[in-house]
Amino acid sequence: MSNPAKQRTEVAASTLELLHSEMVEYTTNDSKYSSHKEKAYTVLEDMGFKVGIRLGERLTRDKGRFADNLDTIKFICKDFWSECFKKNVDNLKTNHKGTYVLHDSKFTYLTRLSLSTPEETANAAKNHVVFSCGIIRGCLSSLGVEAFVTAEINALPSVLFKVIEISRQ
Amino acid sequence: MPAAYFVIVGKEDCPLYELEFTAQGRKEDQSQLKQFILHASLDVVEELQWGSKELFLKSVDKFNNFSISAYLTAGYVRFLILFDGERKSDDSIKQFFTEVHELWVKIQLNPFYELNATIDSPSFESKIKQLVNRYL
């Protein structure tokens, strides 16, 4: 793990996109879940959650701990996003009361998504952001921030990820 | 090697891994006391963790002849080590903790490892022992 850059093994990025779209197909078309799409989403999100926890531990290896939740979210927007999706988050809004909105104008898994009509594409897009919501939730959880993460797609390929902290009162 | 007691404490305050070293020839009859002191020092670690952004919180507690050093990861997992009597320099303890952190991340990355479960892997144990021999 402490290899210098030239010894890092690299994998083609397209393989991850293919794997991801296959994962979405596999879970949403499974006959167990055909009647309840929410169950398929739960499975996908759970997968993402477990990946996110491990990514969170791995990426914060050398950096110090974060002072507060805003710092954690900022880390997610920069380092974590560029590791996972090869770009930074374009816009971050917060209401300072525990809700954060991360705006990504060209979300990786949606840029190459296209079905026969725009309506079908918009429908299918909802399936493709669930895994990433899980990854974000897992990473936050491993850094000590419990939150709900949902995604809103208004115009492909831009996505709004809403992070709502679960406050324990 | 000096008498020491090393423990990894997870997020839910449960110990995930414990290892005890005794100086050669001495019978170890204070294990329970050491465990008790380490658990008591978790409170001190929690107080200190909000004050500093550092990962390594040097010596956090002292009890009779025992001194305790702590290291905190970004995921709030704690590595604690209790020394009986003589203590090595802060630098070598810090290096030891950094290497343990690497091993810890590797264990976490294993998809078959259930998070917050005890670490049973014998290779992990042998690597920790090697690190102790090298740095402590």
Q: Is residue A68 part of a domain?
A: yes
A71 within a domain of the structure (yes/no): yes
Q: Which pLDDT score, from 0 to 100, does residue B111 have?
A: 83
The residues that bridge with A160 in the sheet, in sequence order, are A103, A152
Q: What dotted CATH number matches B3-135?
A: 3.30.450.70
- Asked if A159 has any chain B CB less than 8 Å from its own CB, the reply is no
The answer to whether A143 contacts B54, with C-beta atoms less than 8 Å apart, is: no
Of all residues in chain A, the percent with pLDDT exceeding 90 is 5
The predicted complex's ipTM stands at: 0.76
Question: Which band of pLDDT confidence, cut at 50, 70 and 90, is reported for residue B2?
Answer: low
Instruction: State the residue range of the domain holding A47.
Output: 14-29+36-168
* Nearest residue in B to A139, CA atom: B75
For residue A13, CA distances in Å to A32, A80, A119, B108 come to 31, 16, 27, 24
Contact A83, A102 (CB under 8 A): no
Q: Residue A114: inside a domain, yes or no?
A: yes
- Which residues, in sequence order, are CB contacts of B115 under 8 Å at separation 6+? A53, B108
Q: Concatenated DSSP letters for chain B?
A: ---EEEEEE-TTS-EEEEEEE--TT-----HHHHHHHHHHHHHHHHHHHTT---SEEEEEEEETTEEEEEEE-TT--EEEEEEES----HHHHHHHHHHHHHHHHHHHH-TTSPTTS----HHHHHHHHHHHHHH-
Residue A132 within a domain: yes
Q: Is A3 on the interface with B (CB under 8 A)?
A: no
> Domain containing A102 — which CATH number?
3.30.1380.20
pLDDT in tens, B23-75: 665 556 677 788 888 888 888 888 887 777 777 777 777 777 788 888 888 77
User: For residue range A113-154, what is the model confidence (pLDDT) as tens digits?
Assistant: 878 888 888 888 888 888 989 999 998 888 888 888 888 888
Contact present, B70 and B79 (Cβ < 8 Å): yes
Given an 8 Å threshold on Cβ–Cβ distance, is B49 in contact with A54?
Answer: no
The C-alpha atoms of residue B126 and residue A14 are separated, in whole angstroms, by: 39
Is residue A8, in this structure, part of any structural domain at all? Answer: no
Task: Name beta bridge partners: B68.
Answer: B61, B82
Q: Which residues pair with B6 in a beta bridge?
A: B19, B81
Comparison of pLDDT for A169 and A158, the residue scoring more: A158
| B91 at interface of A, judged by CB pairs closer than 8 A | no
* Domain count across chain A: 1
Contacts of B104 in chain A (CB under 8 A): 57
